[in-house]
Structure 1
């Protein structure tokens, strides 16, 4: 199998897997327990928090572990807005956010918040002028993604956060797709909150984290029993093995090196694709883009057909984010950058990983080229058949 869907998930590294097994086998105590078993688990937990915080440029006290990226986004957004519940406040996000963010802000709307969904340009970038115009006197939070999970476009988070803070607006960013693949420093980005996930960088599924800047006001969510873990941020016993494996994956990661390697692979794929399929359309920003994501369209060919055909050849790609594909809907990201429904359904996302080889990409391009030629031949055959039918009808008339 050639796995080219690393934006949806990554294989768990052997070192992270070993740490998971070791922790689950030896340090299985509850981190909240006061006995020796609990103490051992809590030491692993605290060391893991320090590792993740270090990779973000944060203090360990500013990191809260979650059950994944979706929960990280949801809890960040709703915990930051909870102090303003029932006060008719305003929230800003974009039309191309991950479904987890869009779902969270829709829930805010149901609870009395007004929400502005920002437009983006044809490359998926949020114009700074649009952010400025959207901020109102009652705006309390803006949540704008770092890197898009479908077309890969990266936003100017540092500048956007500066605009928000100048108006007294809190700023959260979803960095699930970028953490581990590009250097991230929360102090440099100047964000109030940031979400990440373990399984996007060779860690286990079901583990994520939220950074919340020290001093930022947030409130426990009241839809569940009062959380006693993560300093009130979420309920449930800490997943110590998963958290330890997450930390190991983070410690093994070199974002600078990863960005360079993934970028070269992405550029190699695009070069090969354009050489074999000249009419292929690459979506997203040319330069400000996630180094591992290559979103493209083959005009006139359904993305799902391309994906399923590649799958028959043992090559895994997707037609968008896993959460979006599960609903079998046309990409909301593609429609937001001005594509028609048909063009949106043509979209294919190929995403590389550190284990991807150039041979893998060459093979994928070969199959894509075959699909294109076959489609063109079928189209020509249908045109010829229609032509013959028209001639026969004309003759009989």
Structure 2
């Protein structure tokens, strides 16, 4: 059976080039980068070169990039360590209602420690308003954390404008750029970003590796204690192989970014157009144009997302209904509820995220399969039956 993978926002297939770059550091070049003998120096040199590569990808200095185990750790570090470092100035933090749970759950943790969190609403497209942020700022606000692009609906936020508002009020600005890094242009200096999180496995690199950018001059505290690695801020022997794979994938992504983004956006818009024309009672979620080039997210009335995913999987199509980290939950997506969808429609959501290997034929097969799946599910839906009866009586 043909397999079509359309869940690249959850994770990506690692590029062969990234795996090839990693292999020496998993075998003969296995030294500890903290050691002073040649094998360790070789690892340290590879680590430094990888740091330079990923720093250049966001126009940062090498020393401003610290390697982590992934986006969730980077988000935790950005919020917790910054809160601790600046709590003498204030204990107020601003974020949005549609953040990844790595941000939202960390914010809840900080609330239990006495910090006050303001959760900004979003509009029907999932955009955070700079005006709303302006109204939320206070003299004791120390940090604003707004994601670069939403992992579920793909909406890209007005990052530079939001960062300016934060800075105008003396606060720092962090962005979870896990979905954006390597896929769309990011310039931390031009955009006014003080802290940024990213993850390798969203950009065709290995799982278990990420980064946290901390602008020079921003105070922070050690997040993992026990050693001098990562400028004494994150103890533990560095995952040199994973970091080298991350750098390789990043370098390739940057080289291909403009061309690949244009290709994916064309496929994305083709998929959106077909769904809107051919599947009634469907709703596009997220901003129509200010969205990630690979993201397609729809809600379909009168059906439930889990049944849709199971039938699509039976046909060889991998997709998701909401964010990957909560796909086992029966609760509707907090993102879809935040943009104003009622529970019954939010439950019938589908996210298709395209990747390097996605073709137009894949899109056509997926949408043809989706049409049949939705027809089957609606035929079994008492809600749809009641809707058709009411519609018939009204006409």
TM range (shorter): over 0.9
| Counterpart residue number, 1:122 | 124
Alpha-carbon distance in structure 1 between the residues aligned to 2:329 and 2:35:
41
| Counterpart residue number, 1:232 | 232
Q: Alignment partner of 2:63: what SS?
A: helix
Structure 1 residue 103: Cα displacement? 1.2
- In structure 2, relative to structure 1, the CA distance for the partners of 1:129 and 1:294 (3 Å cut) is same
Tell me if structure 2 keeps the 8 A contact 1:180–1:258.
Answer: no
Alpha-carbon distance in structure 2 between the residues aligned to 1:87 and 1:216:
14
Structure 1 residue 382: Cα displacement? 9.5
| Counterpart residue number, 1:81 | 83
Tell me if structure 1 keeps the 8 A contact 2:89–2:142.
Answer: no
Instruction: Name stretches of at least 5 consecutive residues in structure 2 with no aligned partner.
Output: 390-395
Coordinate RMSD, CA, aligned: 1.8
Alpha-carbon distance in structure 2 between the residues aligned to 1:82 and 1:351:
37
Bigger Rg over Cα? 1
Q: How many pairs were matched up?
A: 383
Alpha-carbon distance in structure 1 between the residues aligned to 2:108 and 2:139:
21
Structure 1 residue 226: Cα displacement? 4.3
5 Å-filtered alignment, 1:112-261, equals 112-221=114-223, 225-253=225-253, 254-261=256-263
| Counterpart residue number, 2:275 | 273
1:34 aligns with 2:56: no
Alpha-carbon distance in structure 2 between the residues aligned to 1:78 and 1:114:
13
Which of 5, 8, 12 in structure 2 is aligned with 1:6?
8
Tell me if structure 2 keeps the 8 A contact 1:266–1:291.
Answer: yes
1:322 aligns with 2:324: yes
- 1:351-379 CA deviation, whole Å, 9 max, x = no partner? 00011011111011111111222234445
Structure 1 residue 279: Cα displacement? 2.6
5 Å-filtered alignment, 1:45-84, equals 45-84=47-86
| Counterpart residue number, 1:353 | 355
Alpha-carbon distance in structure 1 between the residues aligned to 2:160 and 2:221:
25
- In structure 2, relative to structure 1, the CA distance for the partners of 1:381 and 1:155 (3 Å cut) is closer
> Which sits farther off after the overlay, 344-353 or 17-26?
17-26
Structure 1 residue 329: Cα displacement? 2.6
Instruction: Name stretches of at least 5 consecutive residues in structure 1 with no aligned partner.
Output: 388-397
Tell me if structure 2 keeps the 8 A contact 1:6–1:352.
Answer: yes
Structure 1 residue 381: Cα displacement? 12
Tell me if structure 1 keeps the 8 A contact 2:194–2:218.
Answer: yes
Structure 1 residue 82: Cα displacement? 1.5
Which contiguous aligned blocks of 4+ residues in structure 1 show a shift greater than 2 angstroms?
Answer: 84-88, 224-228, 326-329, 372-384
- Name the TM-score, length of structure 2 as normaliser: 0.93
Alpha-carbon distance in structure 1 between the residues aligned to 2:267 and 2:304:
25
1:344 aligns with 2:346: yes
- In structure 2, relative to structure 1, the CA distance for the partners of 1:140 and 1:382 (3 Å cut) is closer
Alpha-carbon distance in structure 2 between the residues aligned to 1:220 and 1:85:
15
- In structure 2, relative to structure 1, the CA distance for the partners of 1:382 and 1:317 (3 Å cut) is closer
- In structure 2, relative to structure 1, the CA distance for the partners of 1:305 and 1:383 (3 Å cut) is closer
1:44 aligns with 2:61: no
Structure 1 residue 323: Cα displacement? 1.2
Structure 1 residue 152: Cα displacement? 0.7
- 1:222-277 CA deviation, whole Å, 9 max, x = no partner? xx534421112212110000000000001111322222121111111112222321
